[in-house]
Chain A
Amino acid sequence: MSEPTGRIPRELKGLIGGPEASGTTLRTPGRPRELRRYPWQVRDSGELLLVVAAGIWLVAAVTQTAAEGLKDPRIAIAFGALIAFGELLRLNLPGDRETAPIGFAGALAYALLIRVGTHLVQYSAEQVVTVAAIGMIIGALPHLAVGRPARVGGMATRLLCVAYIFRPLASNSAVEKHWGLAVTLMTALTVLALLLEAVLTALLRVDEQRARFRVALVDEMRVQLPLGAAVGASALLIAFAAEVMGLAALAVFTAPLLVTQVAFRRYAGIRATYLQTVRALAKVTEIGGYVEAGHCERVSRLAVAIGRELGVHEPELLELEYAALMHDIGQLSLHDPIPGGATVLVSRHDQQRIAELGADVIQQAQVLDSVAEIVRRQNEPYRDPGAASGRTGFSEPSGPPPGPPLSSRIIKTANAFDDLVGSSLDPGRAEAAVQRLRLDTASEYDPATVEALSRVVGRRSVIQM
Chain B
Amino acid sequence: MGKLSRAALIYIGAVVVTAVVLVARGPFTGLRWQYVVFLGILVIVSESRATQLRKGQLSWSSSSAAMLASVVLVGPVGASIVGACTALGVRRGPSILQRVFNTAMYALSAYLAGRVFLAFGGHVGLPDEKSFPAIIAPFAAAALVLVAANHGLLSGVLWLTRPRDRMSSGASGAGVGLSARLLLSDLGYAAYGLLMAALWSVVGFFAPLLVLIPLFVARWAVTQFAEQQKAYEATVGALCQAVETKDFYTRGHSDRVSRGSVMIAREIGMRGDRVEAIRYAGMLHDVGKLGVPTKVLQKTGKLTEEEYEAIQLHPMRGLDIVREIGFLDEALAGIMHHHERIDGRGYPMGLAGDEIPEFARVLAVADAFDSMTSTRSYRGARPVSEAIEELRKWSGTQFDPAFVDAFVAALKRHGWQLPEPPVIAADDLATVTAQDHDDPAAPIRVIDSR
Query: Footprint of B on A, CB under 8 Å?
Result: 1, 3-4, 117-118, 179, 183, 226-227, 229-230, 232-234, 236-237, 240-241, 243-246, 248-249, 252-253, 255-260, 262-264, 266-267, 269-274, 276-281, 283-284, 287-289, 329, 332-336, 361-368
B232:A274 contact, CB within 8 angstroms: yes
B236 touches A277 (CB 8 A): yes
User: Given A229-B213, A287-B320, does the pair A252, B234 have CB atoms closer than 8 Å?
Assistant: no
CB contact under 8 A between A365 and B218, given known A244-B198, A287-B290: no
Q: Decide if A273 touches B232 in the complex (CB within 8 Å).
A: yes
Minimum C-beta distance from B236 to chain A (A): 6
In the complex formed, the residue of A with least CB distance to B318 is: A287
B1 close to chain A: CB less than 8 A: no
Cα–Cα, bound, A96→B46 (Å): 32
Q: Which residues of B contact A243 (CB under 8 A)?
A: 129, 202
Contact of B288 among A233, A262, A287 (CB under 8 A): A287
A366 contact from B187, B202, B234, B288, Cβ within 8 A: B234
B94 within 8 A of A: no
Q: Contact check, B239 vs A256: say whether CB atoms are below 8 A apart.
A: no
Q: List 16 A-B contacts (CB under 8 A).
A: A229-B213, A229-B214, A233-B214, A237-B199, A241-B198, A244-B128, A244-B129, A244-B132, A255-B191, A256-B218, A263-B185, A266-B221, A270-B228, A271-B228, A288-B290, A329-B242
Chain B min CB distance to A336 (Å): 8
B238 within 8 A of A: yes
Q: Flag whether B35 is at the interface (Cβ < 8 A).
A: no
Which of B136, B221, B326 touches A273 (beta carbons < 8 Å)?
B326
B378 within 8 A of A: no
B191 pairs with A287, CB closer than 8 A: no
Chain A residues with Cβ below 8 Å from B242 are 284, 329, 332-333, 361, 364
Asked if A280 and B184 make an inter-chain contact with CB atoms under 8 angstroms apart, the answer reads: no
A89–B132 Cα gap in the complex (Å)?
28
Which of B7-15, B106-114, B156-164, B203-211 is found at the contact surface with chain A?
B203-211
Q: Which of B184, B236, B245 is the one whose CB lies under 8 Å from A332?
A: B245
Pair B235/A260 contact, Cβ less than 8 Å:
no
CB-CB under 8 A from A269, the residues of chain B are: 327
Q: Which of B187, B203, B322 contacts A240 (CB 8 A)?
A: B203
B214 touches A256 (CB 8 A): yes
Residues 309 to 344 of chain B near chain A (Cβ within 8 Å): 317, 320-327
Q: Is B346 interfacial (CB 8 A cutoff)?
A: no
Please give, as numbers and ranges, the residues of chain A lying within 8 Å of B245 by CB-CB distance: 332-333, 361
**Is B296 an interface residue when CB atoms closer than 8 A count as contact?**
no
Q: Which secondary structure dominates where chain A touches chain B?
A: helix
Which of B217, B229, B431 is within 8 Å of A260, CB to CB?
A: B217
Whether A274 lies near B235 (C-beta < 8 A) is: yes
Contact: B228 with A274, CB < 8 Å? yes
Is the CB of B58 closer than 8 A to any CB of chain A? no
* B301: chain A residues within 8 A (beta carbon): none
In the assembled complex, how far is the CB of residue A169 from the closest CB belonging to chain B, in whole angstroms? 14
Chain A residues with CB under 8 Å of B202's CB are 179, 240-241, 243-244
Q: State the Cβ distance, B400 to closest chain A Cβ, in Å.
A: 28
Q: A248-B136, A259-B189 are in contact. Are A280 and B323 (CB under 8 A)?
A: yes
Closest approach, in angstroms, between the C-beta of A216 and any C-beta of chain B?
A: 22
The residues of A that contact B222 with a CB separation of less than 8 Å are 263
Known contacts A256-B214, A259-B184; A280 and B325 CB within 8 A of each other: yes
Q: A241-B199, A252-B194, A287-B288 are in contact. Are A332 and B243 (CB under 8 A)?
A: yes
> Is residue B52 within 8 Å, beta carbon to beta carbon, of the partner chain?
no
Chain A residue numbers with a CB within 8 Å of B206 are 179, 183
B326 and A1 contact, CB distance less than 8 A: yes
Given contacts A244-B199, A253-B195, A365-B231, 4 further A-B contacts (CB under 8 A): A244-B131, A266-B225, A267-B221, A287-B321
Which residue of B is nearest A353, CB measured? B429
Query: Which residue on B lies nearest to A278, using beta carbons?
Result: B235
Known: A117-B129, A332-B245. A281 touches B225 (CB 8 A): no
B188 to A259, Cβ gap below 8 A? yes
The answer to whether B191 touches A253 (Cβ under 8 A) is: yes
CB of B201 within 8 A of chain A? yes
Closest Cβ of chain B to A424, distance in Å, is 24
CA distance A273 to B195 in the complex (A): 36
Nearest residue (CB) in A for B320 is A287
Per DSSP, are chain B's interface residues mostly helix, strand or loop, or mixed? helix
A252-B195, A280-B323, A284-B243 known; A364-B238 Cβ under 8 A: yes
A132 to chain B, nearest CB (A): 21
Q: What residues of chain A lie closer than 8 Å to B61, measured between beta carbons?
A: none
- Name B430's closest neighbour in chain A (CB-CB): A333
The residue from B192, B213, B321, B429 contacting A284, defined by CB atoms under 8 A apart: B321
Instruction: Establish whether residues A226 and B191, one from each chain, have CB atoms under 8 Å apart when the complex forms.
Output: no
| Selected contact of B234 from candidates A234, A241, A264, A367, CB within 8 Å | A367
Using CB atoms and an 8 Å cutoff, list the residues of chain B in contact with chain A.
127-129, 131-133, 136, 184-185, 187-192, 194-195, 198-199, 201-204, 206-207, 210-211, 213-214, 217-218, 220-222, 224-225, 228-232, 234-239, 241-243, 245-246, 287-288, 290-291, 294, 317, 320-327, 429, 431
> What residues on B are CB-neighbors of A117 within 8 Å?
129
Tell me, in angstroms, the Cα distance from A273 to B228 when the chains sit together: 10
Whether B325 and A255, one on each chain, are in contact in the complex, defined by CB atoms closer than 8 angstroms, is no
Q: How far is the CB of B234 from chain A (nearest CB, A)?
A: 4
Residue of B with least CB distance to A259: B188
A234 nearest in chain B by CB position? B214
Q: With a CB–CB cut-off of 8 A, which chain B residues contact A272?
A: 326
Residue of B whose beta carbon sits closest to that of A233: B213
Q: Which of B238, B291, B325 contacts A288 (CB 8 A)?
A: B291
Distance in angstroms between the alpha carbons of A362 and B239 in the assembled complex:
7
CA distance A334 to B127 in the complex (A): 72
Residue pair A246, B236 in contact (C-beta under 8 Å): no
Beta-carbon contact of A365 and B185 below 8 Å: no
Residues of B within 8 A of A332 (CB): 242-243, 245-246, 290
Knowing A252-B136, A259-B185, A267-B224 are in contact, say whether A244-B321 is a contact too (CB < 8 A): no
A118 closest partner in B (C-beta): B129
User: In the complex the two chains form, what is the Cα distance from A329 to B238 in whole Å?
Assistant: 11
A263 vs B245: C-alpha distance when bound (angstroms): 37
A276 and B324 within 8 A (CB): yes
Q: How far is the CA of A277 from the CA of B328 in the complex (A)?
A: 10
Q: Smallest CB-CB separation from B291: which chain A residue? A: A287
A230 and B325 contact, CB distance less than 8 A: no
Known: A179-B204, A236-B210, A271-B228. A281 touches B221 (CB 8 A): no
Residue from B132, B195, B217, B231 within 8 A of A237 (CB atoms): B195
B203 with A267: CB separation less than 8 A = no
* A365-B291 contact given A240-B203, A256-B192, A272-B326, CB 8 Å threshold: no
Distance, CA A4 to CA B188, complexed state (A): 27
- Given A183-B203, A287-B317, A362-B238, the answer on whether A277 and B325 have CB atoms closer than 8 Å is yes
Q: Give Cα distance in the complex from A253 to B324, angstroms.
A: 37
Shortest B53–chain A CB gap in Å is 12
Q: Complex Cα distance A256/B241, Å?
A: 41
Shortest Cβ-Cβ A-B pairs, 6 listed:
A259-B188, A233-B213, A364-B238, A365-B238, A230-B217, A288-B290
Q: Which residue of A lies closest to B129 (CB)?
A: A117
* Alpha-carbon distance between A336 and B295 when the two chains are bound, in angstroms: 10
Contact A281 B236 (CB under 8 A): yes
Q: State the CA gap A234–B326 with chains docked (Å).
A: 32
- The answer to whether residues A260 and B320 also contact, given A226-B220, A267-B228, A365-B237 and a CB cut-off of 8 A, is no
CA distance A241 to B207 in the complex (A): 10
Counting chain B CB atoms within 10 Å of each CB, the highest count among A237, A271, A276, A279 belongs to A237
Q: Given A230-B217, A255-B187 in contact, is the A281-B203 Cβ separation under 8 Å?
A: no
A-side contacts of B201, CB under 8 Å? 244
Residue in A277, A289, A332 with the greatest tally of chain B CB atoms within 10 Å: A277
| Shortest distance between the CB of B430 and any CB in chain A (Å) | 8
Bound complex: CA of A307 vs CA of B128, how far in Å?
56
Shortest distance from the beta carbon of A245 to any chain B beta carbon, whole Å: 5
A246, closest chain B residue (CB) = B132
Residues of B within 8 A of A333 (CB): 242, 245-246, 429
